[in-house]
Structure 1
Amino acid sequence: MQVDALVARIERAFDPAREFLVPLLSDPVVMGAWALIVAVSVAVLLWDVREHNTALPSLMKAVWTLTVIYSGPFGLAVYWYAGRTQIPEDSLVRRGFRSTAHCYSGCGAGEITGILLAQGVLGLAVGWVAAATFGFAYLFGFGLTVGPLMQEGVGLREAVVDAFYSETPSITVMEVTAIGTDLLLAADAHVGDLLFWGALALSLSVGYLAAFPVNAALVRAGVKEGMANPAEL
């Protein structure tokens, strides 16, 4: 009962935001315009990578492509600020942005997969949707760290331990925020509804913003390294 009361209080607190956002995220014109903006942002990213940033490793290219697909012009702005080989100098803020983008690319793929299966296909209750989505996001984000570490010659056990300590805080904050935002806006939406996709897109970016200070703090503490300084490539 206490949990239900807490959820009800949170929903009431966010009612003004829901009343503003739900109609927008359900509007075909708004969502069509957003899809066009995302497509243009991805095209700009791919053009810049091909023309000016071919030195970026394949993993970094994939991370930035997914980041821009998830967040459109916001993702492109983050890439332009922190991910290009032309950045004038590196900084904690840029490293934090890159570290968050690395986590974001894997977690976003996991979140989309999880919420599509749990909410869109299986129609599970809200609690199960949240649990399944978090599980997939954690698995994908975890794998995106363990895999590259093992490719660099790190043993499986060491890679798993390293990924657990370095990624768990970021993934937890990102996904609790993103999943909470998505369910707050579209808990009853179906996969064929524009609101389902609009809320999912918005929630991903909200999760990125929430996780950025966590990643910056982990980078500063030496727990995470983030992606390499692109200016040195």
Structure 2
Amino acid sequence: MEHQAHQAPAQHHPVAVAGTWAMAVRATLHCLTGCAIGEVLGMVIGTALGWGDVPTLILAITLAFAFGYALTLWGVMKAGVGLRAALKVALAADTLSIAVMELVDNGVIVLWPGAMDAGLADPLFWWVLAIALAVAFVLTMPVNRWMIGRGKGHAVVHRYHH
């Protein structure tokens, strides 16, 4: 009997961790969606207009934050929360996640040889952008897991969706 009682907590612990990781995956996919829309749009606009590296990166990062926050605002406001409160939730839930995603994403792009010089017709432009977003997803997921485990980040947003 004592042996079974000892095993019970071990059996329940992986379920709790798996649930938190599943939530972190969803939160990171949500973040990736907004970041990817803004990042791709910013990179395409900056490249198409022949802007330099810094203005293009600033536009991409700005749009990534804007679209990331907008997606959260939309979902929270859809749940009946007012704009001011929804904005506070979005800022608290998404800022660290988007910042990490953008740091990693743009870091990969900047460090990849030739990526910032590639034009829209160059497959390198698109491949590096896709790889950068994938790497950013993988490296941002533990950040979201950490925040959710502490009741922050998308754990806060999750309260408004149910």
TM-score by length of 1: 0.57
- Counterpart residue number, 1:131: 58
The Cα of 1:183 is off from its aligned counterpart by 2.5
The Cα of 1:227 is off from its aligned counterpart by 8.0
Q: 1:113 aligns with which of 38, 41, 63?
A: 41
Within 5 A, what are the aligned runs for 1:1-233? 91-119=19-47, 121-185=48-112, 186-223=115-152, 224-225=154-155
CA 1:202 to 1:226, structure 2 compared with 1: closer, same or farther past 3 Å? farther
CA distance in 2, matches of 1:108, 1:226: 22
Structure with more of its chain in helix, by fraction: 2
Tell whether the 8 Å contact from 2:93 to 2:156 is kept in structure 1 after alignment: no
SS of residue paired to 2:121: coil
SS of residue paired to 2:155: coil
- Counterpart residue number, 2:8: none
Identity %: 34
In structure 1, list runs of 5 or more residues that go unmatched. Answer: 1-87, 229-233
RMSD over equivalenced CA pairs, Å: 1.9
CA distance in 1, matches of 2:125, 2:69: 26
- Counterpart residue number, 2:11: none
- Rg (Cα) greater in structure: 2
Tell whether the 8 Å contact from 2:25 to 2:141 is kept in structure 1 after alignment: yes
| Count of aligned pairs between the two proteins | 141
Counterpart of 1:215, as a letter, is N
CA distance in 2, matches of 1:199, 1:157: 37
